[in-house]
Amino acid sequence: MTCRFRCGNACAHDVANTSDNPYFGDVVAQAISRRGMLRAGTLGALAAGVAGVGLAGAVPALAEPTEPEAELLGHSSGDIRFTPVPPNKEDALRVPDGYTSAVVARWGDPVTADAPAFDFDKQSAEAQSKQFGYNCDFVTLFPMGANRGLLWVNHEYTNENLMFRGYTTGAAATEEQIKIALAAHGGSVVEIERVRGTGQWKLVTNGRRRYNRRITAQTPMRFSGPAAGSDPLKTAADPAGRTPVGMLNNCSGGSTPWGTVLTAEENIDQYFVNGDKVPAAQLPYISRYTITTGTPASNRRFDRVEERFDLAKHPNEANRFGWVVEIDPFDPDSTPVKRTALGRLKHEAANTTLARDGRVVVYMGDDSRFEYIYKFVSKNRYIPGNDRHNRNLLDEGTLYVAKFTGDSPATEIDGSGKLPSDGAFDGSGQWIPLVSGDRSYVDGMTAIEVLVYTRVAADKVGATKMDRPEDMERNPVTGGVYVALTNNTNRTAAQVDEANPRPSNKHGHVLEIVERRDDAGEKTFAWSLPLICGDPNDPATYFAGYDKTKVSPISCPDNVAFDRDGNLWIATDGNQLGSNDGMFVMPVRGKERGHLRQFLTVPLGAETCGPMVTPDQRSVFVAVQHPGELDGATPDKPASHWPDGDQPRPSVAVVWHAKGQKVGA
């Protein structure tokens, strides 16, 4: 079920990346001193990275904070003390002793003030367009003071066979069911308030709700940046190529220092039919983006209610998805903007930080097997408080893709997971430029082609094929950029390299990038693998050198986030160790570096998303995506009853310590 609804059976398809780009081997690394690059701390990064608005206005200072500065910023040593939640198969959101959880918003909850109450057996597209959408993924909070805020939540995809009784296929669905699915995609802005004196937050449900908004697959949007108005984006409905409709499969994302959300369109390939009937010149791109061919009965068949999803008739419509979308949560009338300068991928994340000189940097993963890691660096600098200027920053800049080089001999990367003789899977890397405005750096491709067919451009410049790059985010305390590499069971023994050292990688790993001079605007970096996931008893796992008898098992890291102390929070998707998915915390500095502990587990069949630790560290939000998504489950035979004991409902929950301690501490 996961395969069919989430990613259109991606694993059953051939790997899309057939380029001969290297799984790099034995290349002697540049003599970059990793220690020197690990200088900790940027106040600017803290300002840009953690939680959107409320932190804007800080300057991109780059010196390591002194102890008093660190105290001012509220950093502690990041000690983690809770008793880990053991692996389990419970149909529950399980949190550590001393902690409590509560649902904040569930699928169907009224979002806009005129939304009707949810009724599972009387759903309508009209109601769904005003109610909280399905499958919540990325979560971020825009604080409005200490006790109020706007929560942004992505609604990645729909599980129609859990939403509707008797559902079989898209071909047999009612048109109203298809329209409900369109309305259940997208995102939500909901105003939330703190339950006084606690770490609990709940929906504001009185008449205010003036910010509350649903964005769906049918919301009018606009393109901006260099590819806006270009030929590949033009359709019959939009001959100017500037006004796309809706967003799809928004997985993870980020926020900007100027208080907007960046939400990333991921597995957009599964929403179309007749991908094989586009003009011949487009076919290679259809295949590189694994766009659905034919009209498989099992897919959602959006084309039955909106002709644009039929690529035989509208071959460019697929080019209008796969972007990073910027949305202003504080203006419910604003038009979401697809920022073409950030390229078109199966975008997972879009987390921002500031370069040393104030340029905005966006880190992005392309989540498929053997895909690449990207970053965008703006041409102009962020100016605190100058909203009009900042709103255009993501339209001009340079898009880069990452190439990784190992520093150990290939003979020592033997696929066993054993550390090479220098004691680390590590090395150096380069950000290879792809495009900057109307200038292409890729032979044989125009700037527009690089932006619209970014995967093809990255193939041509020799980027490194990774094990499903998902979320990536810069640590506000150490400056390291952490990347979740979820898994890749297709990597063969001949294809292992120092950055992806295990064949048939079932459990994934976490990569740390340390930019040269600790500056996110730089073009070279050092890297290492602090976490190689799996059962700690498996010799092929690694927990930054920490005593493996004291860590929690972890499998399939997906989303990453940091608290203000710089601890790494990891959410998993697809646990291959027989337990439910969960959320984990791991200090990344000091004596506790590598001491990974499971903070919570989600109910049966669910994936863990978020995490979002509030700036005061008194609460952590978790998105519980697709509870009950197990083979054979239906509304008449649900595999999960979370959260209300009835049908499973994807929900955002909040977890806090009963005595008000920092979460995890």
The residues that touch Ca ion, with contacts defined as CB under 5 A, are 251, 407-408, 420, 422, 424, 426, 558
Amino acid letter, 593: R
Q: Which does 173 bind (CB under 5 to 8 A by kind): Ca ion, ligand FEO, none?
A: none
Q: Which does 156 bind (CB under 5 to 8 A by kind): Ca ion, ligand FEO, none?
A: ligand FEO
417 or 433, CB closer to Ca ion? 417
- The CB-of-135 to Ca ion minimum distance in angstroms stands at 11
481 or 556, CB closer to ligand FEO? 556
Give the integer Cα–Cα distance in Å for 257 and 394.
Answer: 12
Give the Cα-Cα-Cα angle 390, 523, 404 (nearest 5 degrees).
125
Taking alpha carbons only, the member of 475, 486, 469, 470 closest to residue 613 is: 475
- The CB-of-573 to ligand FEO minimum distance in angstroms stands at 6
Give the integer Cα–Cα distance in Å for 249 and 341.
Answer: 20
- The CB-of-466 to ligand FEO minimum distance in angstroms stands at 13
- Residue 563: left (phi > 0), alpha (psi -120 to 50), or beta? beta
426 or 449, CB closer to Ca ion? 426
417, burial (CB in 10 Å: exposed 0-12, middle 13-18, buried 19+): buried
User: Total binding residues for ligand FEO by CB under 6 A?
Assistant: 7
String of contacts with ligand FEO for each residue 255-294, x by CB under 6 A: -----------x----------------------------
| Number of C-beta neighbours around residue 125 at 10 A | 19
Interface with ligand FEO (CB under 6 A), residue from 52, 105, 128, 156: 156
Torsion, Cα 42 44 50 52, to 10 degrees, reads 180
Q: Are 485 and 43 in contact (CB under 8 A)?
A: no
Instruction: Give the dihedral sign, CA 104/612/614/364.
Output: negative
Q: Which does 248 bind (CB under 5 to 8 A by kind): ligand FEO, Ca ion, none?
A: none
Residue 371 touching ligand FEO (CB under 6 A): no
Give the integer Cα–Cα distance in Å for 388 and 377.
Answer: 19
- The CB-of-365 to ligand FEO minimum distance in angstroms stands at 8
Site residues for ligand FEO, 298-337, by CB under 6 A, read: none
Q: Which does 422 bind (CB under 5 to 8 A by kind): Ca ion, ligand FEO, none?
A: Ca ion
Interface with ligand FEO (CB under 6 A), residue from 317, 470, 515, 629: 470
- The CB-of-464 to Ca ion minimum distance in angstroms stands at 15
Give the integer Cα–Cα distance in Å for 123 and 294.
Answer: 30
459 sits in which H/E element:
helix 454-460
129 or 408, CB closer to Ca ion? 408
Q: Which does 160 bind (CB under 5 to 8 A by kind): Ca ion, ligand FEO, none?
A: none
Site residues for ligand FEO, 521-560, by CB under 6 A, read: 558
- The CB-of-342 to Ca ion minimum distance in angstroms stands at 17
Give the integer Cα–Cα distance in Å for 451 and 188.
Answer: 27
Give the integer Cα–Cα distance in Å for 490 and 486.
Answer: 12
String of contacts with ligand FEO for each residue 191-220, x by CB under 6 A: ------------------------------
Interface with ligand FEO (CB under 6 A), residue from 191, 306, 366, 367: 367
Report how far apart, in Å, the C-alpha atoms of 161 and of each of 20, 165, 605, 634, 645 are.
39, 7, 14, 6, 18
Q: Is 264 helix (H, G, I), strand (E, B) or coil?
A: strand
- Tokens read off for 312: 């035989």
- The CB-of-303 to Ca ion minimum distance in angstroms stands at 26
Q: Which does 408 bind (CB under 5 to 8 A by kind): ligand FEO, Ca ion, none?
A: Ca ion
- The CB-of-650 to ligand FEO minimum distance in angstroms stands at 13
- The CB-of-559 to Ca ion minimum distance in angstroms stands at 6
Interface with ligand FEO (CB under 6 A), residue from 238, 265, 348, 497: 348
String of contacts with ligand FEO for each residue 235-254, x by CB under 6 A: ----------------x---
Q: Give CA 234 to chain center in angstroms.
A: 28
Amino acid letter, 102: A
Q: What is the DSSP letter of 639?
A: S
- When CB distances to Ca ion are compared, the closest residue is 408
- The CB-of-134 to ligand FEO minimum distance in angstroms stands at 13
407 or 459, CB closer to Ca ion? 407
The DSSP bridge pattern shows strands 324-327 and 359-365 to be unpaired
Give the Cα-Cα-Cα angle 342, 235, 447 (nearest 5 degrees).
35
Report how far apart, in Å, the C-alpha atoms of 452 and of each of 323, 428, 636 are.
9, 29, 43
- Tokens read off for 437: 């405005």
Residues engaged in binding ligand FEO (CB under 6 A): 156, 251, 266, 348, 367, 470, 558
